[in-house]
Structure 1
Amino acid sequence: MKPLEPNFKTADLVDQYEESVRVCDPLFRDFGGHTRFHGRVVTLKCFEDNSLVKATLAEPGHGRVLVVDAGGSLRCAMLGDLIAGSAVEQGWAGVILHGCIRDSREIAAMPLGVKALATHPRKSLKRGEGQRDVPITFAGVRFVPGDLVYCDEDGILVSEEALCPDH
């Protein structure tokens, strides 16, 4: 049975908490089976090498959201169906990727939130390079590990504190 998506709207959250939220520039498309998702931020900074993405999403997610600064590269995919499937099995709420994914049809059928720039059929390199749990900035927003991120059809916003009673 597919888990239910959270019941919030980013537009309402921005209206209510405008002074305390950071709103991403509208660069991202929805690719996952869940368009509405939220959770604590885990960050990665890696360019055209998805080794850390794979390793991180193989760990227990506990409802967190992996936020990946892939440098906005449009030359390869940083997430595919096998890694996304691992994220679902491990309990991740979603992935925000400043880069590309592949296997979009399969990912669309998964109970996982996925926001990315585009799709690309080429896989990434595997060099084991990158950084984890560091502040990253893209789409006009700074993401800090432990922040809360809220995503839906209207966009992505980031907050240092929970904005909904059940979050």
Structure 2
Amino acid sequence: MSRHVVIADFERVGADVLKGLAEEGASTVHEADGRRGALRPELRAIQQGARIAGAAVTVSCHPGDNLMIHAAVETVRPGDVVVITTTSPCTDGMLGDLLATSLRAHGAIGVIMDAGVRDAAELQAMKFPVWTRAVSPQGTVKASPGSVNVPVVVCGQMINPGDAVIADDDGIVVIPRERAAAVLKAARKRTANEASKRERLAAGELGVDMYGLRPLLEKLGVEYR
């Protein structure tokens, strides 16, 4: 059996759930899922203000080789986020505006790139959101096999094809597909609760009182003078 595969069909998180997760944002979703799923902050957005949530299309590439990204394009469906990693560390510019144009034409709404990108100005101009490890003029080849839509590990998190990936200015969070609807429900509840707290804080109430922290401060030996 080949060690390299392209899996075309897999189950995705529903579009309504993804829309709701995007509205809540990465930080709220992360808290709502018990502070799970946050990728380490090694990948940075090349733009500001983008907020996306999509089903993961995963790509495992040889470093310095973007062949499998091209192979992944035909598996992309509208609303997907393409998650790309390499089998060893890489900062080469493995994705540029031409490949991003191809991904977008098939419905991709953004890319999580655990390697480098090039053509950063063009990517920004076309408003195609990308979170990446590096921006580099170093080009790539198209020569080595890899796999598409297999489990990958990116910045400490396992990502399976079809999982929900939420990304914005705060960072990137992954939610397993089977948990996504429940996490959205919890995130909406958290947002409603925070709205009430925001009103109380805006009215002048102290956080130490609202959260009942005075007994804890006393227990920890903190003295007011």
TM-score (normalised: structure 2):
0.64
Q: Which residue of 2 aligns with 1:104?
A: 120
* Aligned counterpart for 1:87 among listed residues 92, 103, 114: 103
Deviation per CA, 1:60-82, whole angstroms, max 9, x where unpaired? 431111111123302x2110110
> Do structure 1's residue 31 and structure 2's residue 43 form an aligned pair?
no
Q: Which residue of 1 aligns with 2:155?
A: 139
> Do structure 1's residue 65 and structure 2's residue 117 form an aligned pair?
no
Alpha-carbon distance, 1:49 to partner:
1.0
> Do structure 1's residue 56 and structure 2's residue 72 form an aligned pair?
yes
In structure 1, list runs of 5 or more residues that go unmatched: 1-5
- Amino acid paired to 1:144: N
Distance (Å, rounded) in 1 between the aligned partners of 2:125 and 2:77: 19
Deviation per CA, 1:82-110, whole angstroms, max 9, x where unpaired? 00111222210111111000000000122
C-alpha RMSD of the superposition: 1.9
Distance (Å, rounded) in 1 between the aligned partners of 2:110 and 2:48: 10
Alpha-carbon distance, 1:132 to partner:
1.2
SS of structure 2 residue aligned to 1:38: strand
* Aligned counterpart for 2:138 among listed residues 122, 136, 141: 122
Alpha-carbon distance, 1:58 to partner:
5.1
Alpha-carbon distance, 1:113 to partner:
2.0
Distance (Å, rounded) in 1 between the aligned partners of 2:38 and 2:48: 22
Alpha-carbon distance, 1:153 to partner:
0.5
Instruction: Specify the structure having the higher radius of gyration (Cα).
Output: 2
Q: Which residue of 1 aligns with 2:32?
A: 16
Runs of 4+ in 1 over 3 A off after TM superposition: none
Matched-pair contact (CA < 8 Å) for 2:65–2:142: yes
Identity of aligned residues (%): 30
Structure number with the higher helix fraction is 2
Distance (Å, rounded) in 2 between the aligned partners of 1:22 and 1:66: 17
SS of structure 1 residue aligned to 2:53: strand
Structure number with the higher strand fraction is 1
- Amino acid paired to 2:118: R
Decide whether aligned partners of structure 1 residues 17 and 155 sit closer, same or farther in structure 2, where only a CA change above 3 A counts. Answer: same
The number of residue pairs the alignment matches comes to 158
Q: Which residue of 2 aligns with 1:3?
A: none
In structure 2, list runs of 5 or more residues that go unmatched: 1-21, 186-225
* Aligned counterpart for 2:175 among listed residues 134, 156, 159: 159
SS of structure 2 residue aligned to 1:77: coil
Alpha-carbon distance, 1:133 to partner:
1.4
Higher relative contact order at CA 8 Å, sep ≥6: structure 1 or structure 2?
1
